[in-house]
């Protein structure tokens, strides 16, 4: 984050959200387009790249290992070094707040015989890396993490990496992707078995770049196999809008009376579109317009109008397809009619913050009725009545961008506004969030 001093802000009640807006490019696809572009031989061109701090950390790391990553007009151009061609970085790779950059790059480096140090900010340095270290160690990489398996961390990739078959103990797109990226430079077939499907951007993009990758279903499992020593071909990529960023505007427009908002170019990959399904089950009015496919990813413009929401029991099977959207779903639940129950959300305890505890405390401070359980929240909604808001209390965001943005949305539907302790983390994924929110509700 740019400045050292916290930047608190009071988000106040606002008028209807109207007009059209476009959210930044999808963060998951942006990370992967930079990484795979850096492993292809030739020039990859990317438009719509998310220019938040997390993706810029990935870009800086790939530059440090020999790739050219530069912006030219509205386009990013990446000249890759080829699979197996990454160079030893001269200094530690600074990951900022980006868990995605860290875990995916650890996978990438696991099958390259180079040594790298990973560092991050205070929030990232609390996040566990053991779930990635364990399978990558089987491939032959060596790790010296800080106590508790966290950053700062030193790793050395395998000189002769070994292909593995790995069954994911918990649903995690980052762990799956790390293993597949390690498999790119590993002779033979590397296999990941997913008991629960997670977002599949890595599989789609690896295929797009020319990797030999197969996906099959067997006994309820999803089995993904990649052939190593791949030769990746440069691509031209248009990054769709990030559904996790669009989520804040979907919920805000659903909750603020009189809203009629079009969010353009939103990625609707089925492994990411859980929030749209859940909001519709609650009664939201979300219309898909101009549905199309861009770079192998389904995309549409979403027209969202104010609607009365009702509480529901959220199916835990939907959690992987909307794991980052739960903070703002909790805000929707706080204004719905009746009770919303969420379960199976253990993963939220190891995000940028413990998002279950953080959102329970934040919503309670703003006047919502919330009960925290071991693996979810139970929220009694107001039936559309505005939340009280915060009085003299600041909401603690724990350096978590999604907590900050979710509570900004809560401020729009409060009587007294909601003050958060720090807006700086928002820049990690959505630098223009505050400006777009003001414009939409002006």
Catalytic residue positions? 324
Q: In whole angstroms, what is the distance from residue 361 CA to residue 348 CA? A: 14
Contacts of 179 (CB under 8 A, 6+ apart): 107, 135, 136, 139, 164, 166, 190, 192
Q: Is 351 annotated as a binding residue?
A: yes
Residue 137 known to bind ligand: no
Q: Characterize the bridge pairing of strands 260-267 and 165-167.
A: unpaired
Confirm or deny that 71 is annotated as ligand binding. no
Helix (H) or strand (E) holding 116: strand 115-119
* DSSP code per residue over 365-383: HTT-EEEEETTEEEEE--T
Burial class (CB in 10 A: 0-12, 13-18, 19+), 249: buried
Q: Is there a binding annotation on residue 172?
A: yes
Specify whether the CB–CB gap between 48 and 294 falls below 8 A: no
> CB of 370 within 8 A of CB of 331?
no
9 annotated to bind ligand: no
355 is in an annotated binding site: yes
Residues 181-208 as b or e (16 or more Cβ within 10 Å = b): bbbbbbeeebbbbbebbbbbbbbbbbeb
Annotation-wise, does 324 bind a ligand?
yes
Q: Is 176 assigned to a binding site?
A: no
Q: Determine the distance from the C-alpha atom of residue 155 to the mean position of all C-alpha atoms in its chain, rounded to a whole number.
A: 24
Selection from 27, 222, 30, 31 nearest residue 108 by Cα: 31
Count of residues for the chain? 442
Contact 198, 173 (CB under 8 A): yes
In this structure, what token pair is assigned to residue 302?
Answer: 């979403």
142 is in an annotated binding site: no
Binding residues for phosphoenolpyruvate: 27, 99, 127, 174, 355, 402
Binding region for 3-phosphoshikimate = 27-28, 32, 172, 174, 324, 351
């Amino acid at each position: 984050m740019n400045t050292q001093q916290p930047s608190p802000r009071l988000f106040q009640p606002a008028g209807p959200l109207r007009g059209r807006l476009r959210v930044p490019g999808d963060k998951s696809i942006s990370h992967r387009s930079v990484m795979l572009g850096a492993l292809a031989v030739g020039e990859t061109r990317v438009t719509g790249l998310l220019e938040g701090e997390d993706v810029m950390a990935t870009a800086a790391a790939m530059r440090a290992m020999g790739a050219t990553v530069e912006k030219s007009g509205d386009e990013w151009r990446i000249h890759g070094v080829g699979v197996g061609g990454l160079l030893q970085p001269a200094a530690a790779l600074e990951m900022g707040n980006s868990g995605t950059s860290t875990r995916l790059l650890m996978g990438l480096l696991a099958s390259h015989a180079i040594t790298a140090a990973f560092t991050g900010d205070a929030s990232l340095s609390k996040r566990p890396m053991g779930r990635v270290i364990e399978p990558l160690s089987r491939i032959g990489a060596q790790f010296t993490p800080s106590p508790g398996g966290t950053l700062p961390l030193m790793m050395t990739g395998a000189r002769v990496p070994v292909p593995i078959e790995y069954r994911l103990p918990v649903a995690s797109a980052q762990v799956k992707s790390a293993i597949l990226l390690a498999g790119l430079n590993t002779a033979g077939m590397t296999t990941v078995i997913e008991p629960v499907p997670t977002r599949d951007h890595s599989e789609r993009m690896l295929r797009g770049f020319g990797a030999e990758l197969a996906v099959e279903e067997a006994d309820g499992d999803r089995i993904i196999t990649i052939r190593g020593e791949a030769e990746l071909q440069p691509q031209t990529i248009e990054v769709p809008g990030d559904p996790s960023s669009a989520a804040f505007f979907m919920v805000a427009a659903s909750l603020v009376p009189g809203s009629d908002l079009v969010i353009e170019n939103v990625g609707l990959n089925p492994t990411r579109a859980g929030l749209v399904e859940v909001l519709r089950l609650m009664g939201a009015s979300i219309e898909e317009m101009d549905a199309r496919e861009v770079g192998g990813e389904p995309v549409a413009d979403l027209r969202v109008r104010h609607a009365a929401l009702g509480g529901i029991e959220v199916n835990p099977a939907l959690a992987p397809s909307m794991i980052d959207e739960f903070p703002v779903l909790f805000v929707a639940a706080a204004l719905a009619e009746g009770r919303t129950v969420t379960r199976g959300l253990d993963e939220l305890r190891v995000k940028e913050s413990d998002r279950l505890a953080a959102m329970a405390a934040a919503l309670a401070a703003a006047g919502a009725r919330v009960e925290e359980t071991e693996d979810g929240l139970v929220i009694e909604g107001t039936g559309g009545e505005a939340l009280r808001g915060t009085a003299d209390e600041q909401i603690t965001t724990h350096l978590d961008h999604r907590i900050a943005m979710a509570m900004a949305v809560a401020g729009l539907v409060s009587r007294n506004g909601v003050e958060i302790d720090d807006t700086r983390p928002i820049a990690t994924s959505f630098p223009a969030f505050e400006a777009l929110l003001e414009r939409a509700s002006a």
